[in-house]
């Protein structure tokens, strides 16, 4: 887990009795947060903040409270506190990042995407993880154009590139852009040989193509044999040989694409069955 970016704020109190109690609880909360006891930290922060009286505490403390809430899985509260931190201009980029993560946990993907966009724009540094997480949120929220763009950036940056390319392909499939889906898988397999998701997916496409070619060849051969059975054609006629040769072209093309499928996914039983059928005819 990445080290938490805590904000240490000066707490200025005007009422001594309240100040001492609240200050102590905030100090304890800070220590609990550093020690990853997030539920305790949140409880202490909220107890201190709810019993301040006239005591003044800088709004930047809300960033720390947001971290405690997020890491103790109180996502509704984390959004609330990160919003307060953002309003106070406290660690704005990270606050929006965590706010986006909170919305994702809540399955509120439109708000997650919007928050990621702000976080990415506000970050002066590495945004690779945010871009990938934004792509996931956009994918789950069916904002497919944004998801494709961000997954593309993840592939280019090398951050979880294979998974990003697979998701990019999956979106194209959902959009019924079959040619682009196939092309994305072919690119992915070339970039990430042996990927456990893309290779079988592309093999399945090739099996489908091989099956179509096999059926085409079988239909040609069947039609020619029907004529032989009907007596309108003989197996030693040139016309019959022409039809058989046409069928063989389809079977050979099927074998070529099915062998590609088998190389990608040796466990694909359909590829083997169709290959055997094509070879038996030839």
Task: Please give the Cα distance from 103 to 109 (Å, whole number).
Answer: 6
Distant-in-sequence, close-in-space partners of 88: CB < 8 Å, separation ≥ 6: 58, 59, 60, 62
Taking alpha carbons only, the member of 157, 155, 158 closest to residue 166 is 155
Task: Please give the Cα distance from 171 to 109 (Å, whole number).
Answer: 16
For 210-251, how does the pLDDT look when each residue is reduced to its tens digit (9 = 90+)? 999 999 999 999 999 999 999 999 999 999 999 999 999 999
Task: Please give the Cα distance from 70 to 65 (Å, whole number).
Answer: 9
Burial class (CB in 10 A: 0-12, 13-18, 19+), 137: buried
Parts of the chain with a pLDDT under 50: 1-2, 10-16
CA geometry: angle 91, 96, 100, nearest 5 deg: 150
DSSP string, the chain: -PPP-------B-SSHHHHHHHHHHHHHHHHHHHTT-HHHHHHHHHHHHTT-TT-B--TTHHHHHHHHHHHTT-HHHHHHHHHHHHHTTSSHHHHHHHHHHHHHHTT-HHHHHHHHHHHHHH-SS--HHHHHHHHHHHHHTT-HHHHHHHHHHHHHHTSSHHHHHHHHHHHHHHTT-HHHHHHHHHHHHHHSTT-TTHHHHHHHHHHHHHHHHHHHHHHHHHHHHHHHHHTS--TTSHHHHHHHHHHHHHHHHHHHHHHHHHHH-TT-HHHHHHHHHHHHH-
CA-based Rg of the chain, rounded to a whole angstrom?
Answer: 31
272 token code pair: 């083997």
Q: Residue with structure tokens 């800070």?
A: 30
Distant-in-sequence, close-in-space partners of 156: CB < 8 Å, separation ≥ 6: none
pTM of the model: 0.86
- pLDDT of res. 154: 98
**SS3 assignment, position 12:** strand
Which DSSP category does 51 fall into? Answer: T
Taking alpha carbons only, the member of 128, 175, 162, 168 closest to residue 147 is 168
State the chain's mean pLDDT as an integer.
Answer: 93
């Amino acid at each position: 887990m990445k080290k938490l970016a805590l904000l240490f704020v000066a707490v200025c109190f005007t009422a001594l009795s309240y100040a001492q109690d609240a200050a102590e609880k905030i100090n304890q909360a800070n220590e609990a947060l550093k020690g990853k006891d997030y539920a305790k930290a949140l409880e202490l922060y909220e107890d201190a903040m709810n019993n301040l009286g006239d005591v003044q505490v800088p709004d930047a403390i809300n960033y720390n409270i947001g971290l405690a809430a997020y890491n103790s899985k109180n996502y509704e509260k984390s959004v609330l506190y990160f919003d307060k931190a953002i309003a106070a201009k406290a660690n704005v980029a990270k606050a929006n990042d965590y706010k986006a993560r909170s919305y994702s946990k809540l399955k509120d993907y439109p708000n997650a995407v919007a928050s990621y966009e702000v976080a990415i724009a506000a970050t002066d540094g590495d945004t690779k993880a945010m871009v990938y997480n934004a792509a996931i949120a956009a994918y789950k929220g069916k904002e497919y154009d944004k998801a494709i763009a961000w997954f593309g950036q993840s592939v280019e940056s090398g951050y979880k590139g294979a998974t990003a390319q697979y998701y990019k392909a999956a979106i194209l499939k959902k959009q019924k852009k079959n040619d682009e889906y196939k092309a994305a898988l072919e690119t992915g397999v070339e970039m990430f040989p042996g990927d456990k998701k893309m290779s079988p997916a592309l093999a399945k496409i090739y099996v489908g193509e091989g099956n179509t070619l096999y059926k085409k060849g079988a239909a040609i051969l069947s039609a020619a044999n029907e004529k032989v059975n009907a007596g309108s054609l003989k197996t030693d006629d040139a016309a019959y040989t022409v039809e058989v040769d046409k069928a063989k072209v389809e079977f050979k093309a099927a074998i070529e694409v099915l062998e590609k499928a088998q190389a990608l996914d040796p466990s694909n039983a359909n590829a083997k069955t169709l290959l055997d059928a094509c070879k038996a005819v030839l």
